[in-house]
Amino acid sequence: MADTKKHLLLVEDETPLREALAERLAEHGFEVQQAESGEKAIEQLAEFAFDIVITDLRLPGLDGTRVVEAALLRYPDIVCIIVTGYGTVKDAVEAIKRGATDFVTKPFQFDELLHALNSALEKRGLKAENAYLRSQLQERYKFEGLIGRSPAMRALFQLLETVSASASTILVTGETGTGKEVVARAIHHNSPRRAQRFVALNCGAIPETLLEAELFGHVRGAFTGAIGTRQGRLEQAHKGTLFMDEVGTMSPGMQMKLLRVLQEREFERIGDTHTTKVDVRVVAATNSDLQKMVAEGTFREDLFYRLNIIPIHLPPLRERKEDIPLLVQHFLKKFAVQDSSRIPNPESRIPEAKPLSMSQQAMRCLMAYPWPGNVRQLENAIERAVALSGGRTQIETSDLTPDIQQASHAAAAPDVNLPEGGIDFDRYIHRIEHDLIRRALEKTRGNKGQASKLLNLKRTTLVEKLKRLEPSTTDVLAHRSVPPKAGNL
Ligand SMILES: Nc1ncnc2c1ncn2[C@@H]1O[C@H](COP(=O)(O)OP(=O)(O)OP(=O)(O)O)[C@@H](O)[C@H]1O
Ligand SMILES: [Mg+2]
């Protein structure tokens, strides 16, 4: 059976009083141990995780405040009750400021002590419970700035929790707007490096020569215009995290230089003969397929493996639609707040964000749309909708862009004339499927990746369907301009 008794340490130098109290406390269900001095109490605290300490303030040797200090240091949630004489109330108040729970003044009735004890325990229970509930609400579907409830996102939160602590290099992959940078920041803020800098460098936005200077810094006179010595991003990120975005765009020369940094954690500033050592955690990100680039010979294989120590892949939003309502709620709140703070009319009495909601119909459109620009595109769409919603409290379909508005139409089933003679259901569905895939491929000039986005399908699903559909291609294509007829299908 679980041990539900509360373990109590009673510290009191007057033996008769201590023994009498211990007996009464035991009668009330407490498991009591006694200490006759502060020193003894601290020893006992080191050996056992008590739930409660009741200590006299005046003790020979180490006094009660020291006992409380030692107890709280070891067990921040421990309940400490101080017993104090008439002259030491001020000291007891001081101890409470430092974390003791309550005090009783001598002489006291046993019930008085019991009351203080029970209400302290109750309070502690509530505190723990509230903290638990809050953490549930706050953390269940959130991790730093990341929101998500889909299995993929929840698995990601768990992974981030574990990998943040290490210093291993991480490679974050995913389409544009899936949150790669948010993930990189979340890793930094959850790592032991959080007090140091998070330095971001977008390798794609800078020409090669400048990229090298940005990354490594330079010494005075290293090149024309290098008037003084300048720290590179690597040095700026010392003890912290360096986020290297769009690593797939790096030239072969830069790839080699980065490889050395990752292997040796050392480099030379441009124009410097001296080698600089750094302690940097690298998080790299890319929306290109590095593995494919390795196969094609445009990305160094050894660098790929150096970066890909811990791979984190962010699935596109269309593959985790259950995250959309939560993200919508989050962005509605974000932009409603910004919107109300922009209201120029000083007479407007809008003390806080207006409660904004999404009509069910608009939500259906948002759920049906394939979001090629992922979360960023969704965020922009909500910002626009909030701006267009004016003073309304609900966002309507008309506040969305036309392509998003049409998404739910596209998702609706086409009107089917069901002829008297009936149809061949399987062949009919097969044909619609084939027709849609053919049109998507035509529209994207045969690009299966883009076609799968248009159809809101995983690429692998599209490829599978294509394989299944292929044998009857000629058959169906031959009839494609003929409307489905009974008996013909
Ligand atoms: N899970 C999420 N929860 C909340 N906001 C998110 C989430 N994912 C992305 N965002 C938001 O979407 C926007 C785009 O995210 P981010 O810049 O991290 O994307 P990215 O993957 O780095 O894109 P790109 O490849 O284009 O640089 C940001 O404003 C970010 O706050
Ligand atoms: Mg980015």
Residue 394 has pLDDT above 60, yes or no: yes
Instruction: Give the residue, by CA position, lying nearest to ligand 1 atom 31.
Output: 182
Residue 156 has pLDDT above 70, yes or no: yes
Instruction: Give the residue, by CA position, lying nearest to ligand 1 atom 24.
Output: 176
Q: Which residues contact 368 (CB under 8 A, 6 or more apart)?
A: 407, 408, 410, 411, 456
As a whole number of angstroms, the distance between CA 233 and CA 108 comes to 66
What SS3 class is residue 286?
A: strand
Give residue 431's pLDDT band: very low, low, confident or very high (50, 70, 90). confident
Task: Please state the rounded mean pLDDT for residues 18-34.
Answer: 94
Which has more confidence, 260 or 137? 260
Side chain identity, residue 21: L
Atom of ligand 1 lying closest to residue 153 CA = 1
Residue 113 has pLDDT above 50, yes or no: yes
As a whole number of angstroms, the distance between CA 275 and CA 295 comes to 33
- Ligand of minimum distance to the alpha carbon of 320: 1
Distances (CA, A) of 119 to 126, 334, 387, 466: 10, 40, 51, 69
Task: Please state the rounded mean pLDDT for residues 338-343.
Answer: 55
Q: What is the pLDDT of residues 115-135, one digit of tens each?
A: 999 888 887 765 555 555 444
Q: Quick check: 337 and 353 in contact, CB under 8 A?
A: yes
Give residue 105's pLDDT band: very low, low, confident or very high (50, 70, 90). confident
Residue 474 has pLDDT above 70, yes or no: no
User: Rounded to 10 degrees, what is the CA torsion of 180, 185, 191, 193?
Assistant: 130
User: How many A from CA of 245 to the centre of ligand 1?
Assistant: 13
Task: Please state the rounded mean pLDDT for residues 30-43.
Answer: 95
Which has more confidence, 252 or 361? 252
User: How many A from CA of 182 to the centre of ligand 1?
Assistant: 6
Atom of ligand 1 lying closest to residue 147 CA = 3
Q: Give the single-character DSSP code of 357.
A: E
Instruction: Give the residue, by CA position, lying nearest to ligand 1 atom 26.
Output: 176
State the pLDDT at residue 480. Answer: 40
Instruction: Give the residue, by CA position, lying nearest to ligand 1 atom 28.
Output: 376
What SS3 class is residue 413?
A: coil
Q: What is the pLDDT of residues 175-214, one digit of tens each?
A: 999 999 999 999 999 999 988 999 999 998 888 888 999 9
User: How many A from CA of 469 to the centre of ligand 2?
Assistant: 37
Atom of ligand 1 lying closest to residue 172 CA = 21
Task: Please state the rounded mean pLDDT for residues 210-220.
Answer: 92
Q: Quick check: 102 and 78 in contact, CB under 8 A?
A: no
As a whole number of angstroms, the distance between CA 476 and CA 482 comes to 10
Of 141, 142, 154, 178, the one to substitute when testing ligand 1's pocket (max ligand atoms within 8 A of C-beta) is 178
Of 188, 312, 335, 375, the one to substitute when testing ligand 1's pocket (max ligand atoms within 8 A of C-beta) is 375
Q: What is the pLDDT of residues 346-375, one digit of tens each?
A: 444 444 445 678 887 788 889 889 999 999
As a whole number of angstroms, the distance between CA 328 and CA 385 comes to 11
Give residue 45's pLDDT band: very low, low, confident or very high (50, 70, 90). confident
As a whole number of angstroms, the distance between CA 258 and CA 398 comes to 49
As a whole number of angstroms, the distance between CA 201 and CA 218 comes to 16
User: How many A from CA of 241 to the centre of ligand 1?
Assistant: 18
State the pLDDT at residue 53. Answer: 95
User: How many A from CA of 242 to the centre of ligand 2?
Assistant: 14
State the pLDDT at residue 300. Answer: 97
State the pLDDT at residue 422. Answer: 82
User: Rounded to 10 degrees, what is the CA torsion of 339, 345, 347, 350?
Assistant: 0
Residue 234 has pLDDT above 60, yes or no: yes
User: How many A from CA of 299 to the centre of ligand 1?
Assistant: 25
Least confident of 246-255, 374-383, 469-478: 469-478
Residue with tokens 């509605």: 332
User: How many A from CA of 375 to the centre of ligand 1?
Assistant: 6
Give residue 24's pLDDT band: very low, low, confident or very high (50, 70, 90). very high
Atom of ligand 1 lying closest to residue 174 CA = 21
- Ligand of minimum distance to the alpha carbon of 377: 1
State the pLDDT at residue 341. Answer: 52
Total number of residues shown for the chain: 489
- Ligand of minimum distance to the alpha carbon of 148: 1
Of 150, 175, 180, 182, the one to substitute when testing ligand 1's pocket (max ligand atoms within 8 A of C-beta) is 182
Residue 257 has pLDDT above 60, yes or no: yes
Q: Quick check: 64 and 106 in contact, CB under 8 A?
A: no
State the pLDDT at residue 414. Answer: 61
- Ligand of minimum distance to the alpha carbon of 316: 1
Mean pLDDT score across all residues of the chain: 85
Instruction: Give the residue, by CA position, lying nearest to ligand 1 atom 9.
Output: 179
Ligand 1 — pocket residues by CB below 6 A? 145-148, 174, 176-182, 287, 327, 375-376, 379
Buried b / exposed e over 31-47, threshold 16 CB at 10 Å, is ebbbbbbbebbbebbee
Q: Quick check: 375 and 359 in contact, CB under 8 A?
A: no
Give residue 479's pLDDT band: very low, low, confident or very high (50, 70, 90). very low
Side chain identity, residue 327: L
Q: What is the pLDDT of residues 258-311, one digit of tens each?
A: 999 999 999 999 999 999 999 999 999 999 999 999 999 999 999 999 999 999
Spell out where 414-489 has E strands: none
Atom of ligand 1 lying closest to residue 287 CA = 25
State the pLDDT at residue 445. Answer: 87
Q: What is the pLDDT of residues 50-78, one digit of tens each?
A: 889 999 999 999 999 999 999 888 777 78
Q: Quick check: 11 and 39 in contact, CB under 8 A?
A: no
State the pLDDT at residue 259. Answer: 96
Q: Quick check: 21 and 28 in contact, CB under 8 A?
A: no
Residue 300: closest CA among 332, 252, 266, 335: 252
User: How many A from CA of 209 to the centre of ligand 1?
Assistant: 28
CA torsion sign, 185 to 340 to 139 to 321? negative
Least confident of 194-208, 369-383, 457-471: 457-471
